[in-house]
Amino acid sequence: MQQATAHTRLGRLAALLFPLVLAAPAHAHGINGHVHVTGWAIESLPEGPLQAFFAEPEVFDAALIGAAFPDSGYATDDPYGELAHWPPFTHALLEHLLAGEAPFATLEDRKVAAFLMGIAAHGLQDELFDSVFLHQVEHRDGQGQDEVDPGTDGFLWADGHLRFRPPLYLPGETLATVFDAQGHEVTVESMELGLRRVKFLVIDNIEALGPNLDAMYRPLLPWTAAHYLDPDVPGSLRAEIPATAAYLEAIWARLHREASPLVGYAWPAPPRRLRSVDASLVDAWVTVVFGAGAVVGSLNEERVAWVDEAGDPVPFELHHTRWSFSRPMANTRLVQLRPTRDLVPDHAYTVSVAEGVELVGGGRTEERWSYTFRTPCAPGVECAPPDAGAPDEGAAVDAGEAGGGADAGPGGEGAGPGGGGADAATSGDPGGAEASGGDGCQGVPVAPVMPWWPALLARRRRRRR
C-alpha cells in the first residue's frame, strides 16, 4: 500500500510539473508524441534504402531518442534546446556529417545520422502542430499549448498507443561541436543531464504521469481528445506521419548529396478533399510542407499562387510557420494559404510555388511545384467519397496496439525495428534514472531528479518573439 501511494503521489506531482519541464517557445505536442510519430513514420516508409537503414535496431532507437532531444534543453534551461528545433541547426549538423569521408561507414556513424533525422523530425512536427492543429484546439476547445502539450501525451497513454522506449544515446561531442559553430557553447554534460531528465520523467515514467495527465486535460480538451489521432484533421499526430516520412526521405537524399524537391507533402493530401469551403474556418486552409528549411522573405504572394478551375486567382492570406511572425529573414518549413472568401463546393483548385525559393544554408530552388485538390461537396449533394484511395496513416499507429492498451501498460515493449527500446523497464526510484544507457552516455553519473523540480516552478514560460 505504501508503494502504491508513493507511486500515485509521484504521478500527481509529475503531472503538475510536466508542463513546466516542457515550457518552450517552439514546443508543440508532448515528447512521447514526437517519439511515436517519428517511429510510426519510419515504420510507414516504403521498401528502399531508407527503410533498410532503419532496420538496424540501434539506428532506429537513435532516431527515436533524437526526436526527444530538442526539448531536453528546456529541462536544464539551456538555449541549445530551442536552437535544435530549427532548420539552421539541422542544416549545420547535416553539413558537419557530410564533411566526413564516409558518414555511414560504421554503426556509430549511422546512429549519429539517425539522431539527426530524429531532431529534424521533431522540429518539423512542432511547426506542423503549432501552425495547424493548435489553431483548431484554440477554436474548438478554447485552450492552448499549456494544456494540449501534456494533454496529448496523457491521451496517448490512456488510449493505449505508447510502445516506444528508446535507450539513452547522445552523440554529445558532435552536437557540442556544431552548437559551438552556431555560436552557442554547451557542454556534453549539460545535454546529457537534460536528455536524462526528459527520458526519466516523461518517457520512462509515463505510467505515473499518464493517468493524471489524462484526468487533468481530457475534460478541458474534448475535441482534441477525439481528434488528436484523426488522419482527416491536418496537423493531428496521425496526419503528421506521412509528412514526417516525406521529410525523412528528403534528409536522406541530402545526406547522400542528392537533390530533393522543395515540397514533400501538402494538406489536403489528395485524394482527400479540403475539409471546408468556409473561409472563416481552419478547415479551409491549405498547408504546403517543405523538405528543407526556407527563408520566409522568399515565400511571398509573387511566388505562391492559388487559382480555381478557370485559372482565376483565389484571394488569400499567406502565412508561414507560426513562430516566424512573417519576419523576412526567419525560416520556415511550410507555407499556409488562408482564403479570404468562401470557396466553391466540389471544385478543383491548384496551388503552386514558383522557382527561386531561398533555402536555409544557401541556394535557391530551380523548379516550380504545383498540385491540385478538390473541395467538399455541398451539404446534401452526393459525390465521390473524399477519402477514396487515401493512404492509411493509421496503419503504423494501430500496428502495436494488440500488445498495448492501458491495462497492458501502454509504454511496454512493442513492435517496430527498435523493439520498443533496450531499457523499457523503468526505474522505481524517484531520485534518479538508470546509471547507464546507450553508447553515447555509458557510465555517466546521474544527478538526482527531485532537486531540480522545485527550480522549474520559478521558471517563466517563454514564447518565441
Coil vs helix vs strand at 306: strand
Per-residue pLDDT of the chain (465 residues; tens, 9 = 90+): 444 454 444 444 454 444 444 444 445 578 999 999 999 999 999 999 999 999 999 999 999 999 999 999 999 999 999 999 999 999 999 999 999 877 788 999 999 999 999 999 999 999 999 999 999 999 999 999 889 989 999 999 999 999 999 999 999 999 999 999 999 999 999 999 999 999 998 999 988 889 999 999 999 999 999 999 999 999 999 999 999 999 999 999 999 998 888 899 999 998 899 999 999 999 999 999 999 999 999 999 999 999 999 999 999 999 998 877 667 788 999 999 999 999 999 999 999 999 999 999 889 999 999 999 999 999 888 886 655 444 555 555 654 443 333 333 323 333 334 344 433 332 222 223 222 233 333 222 222 333 333 232 222 233 332
State how far the alpha carbon of 283 is from the alpha carbons of 59, 267, 373, in Å.
Answer: 37, 10, 14
DSSP 2-17: HHHHHHHHHHHHHHHH
232 with 279, same domain?
A: no
Q: Is residue 327 part of a domain?
A: yes
356 with 398, same domain?
A: no
Mark which of 346, 374, 402 sits at the end of a domain: 374
Look up the domain containing 319 and give its range.
Answer: 270-374
16 with 152, same domain?
A: yes
310 with 437, same domain?
A: no
Distance CA 349, CA 372 (A): 6
Q: Is residue 257 part of a domain?
A: no
Q: Is residue 105 part of a domain?
A: yes
Distance CA 354, CA 365 (A): 9
69 with 175, same domain?
A: yes
State how far the alpha carbon of 294 is from the alpha carbons of 42, 305, 352, 359, in Å.
Answer: 24, 17, 16, 4
Hey, which residues does 306 pair with through a beta bridge? 351
Domain at 369, CATH number: 2.60.40.3710
Please enumerate in sequence order all residues whose Cβ is within 8 A of that of 389, keeping only pairs 6 or more positions apart, or say none: 271
**Which residue carries 505504501 as its cell?**
2
DSSP 358: B
Q: Is residue 243 part of a domain?
A: no
Q: Hey, what's the cell of 223? A: 475535441
Q: CA dihedral in degrees (23, 29, 34, 37; nearest 10)? A: 180
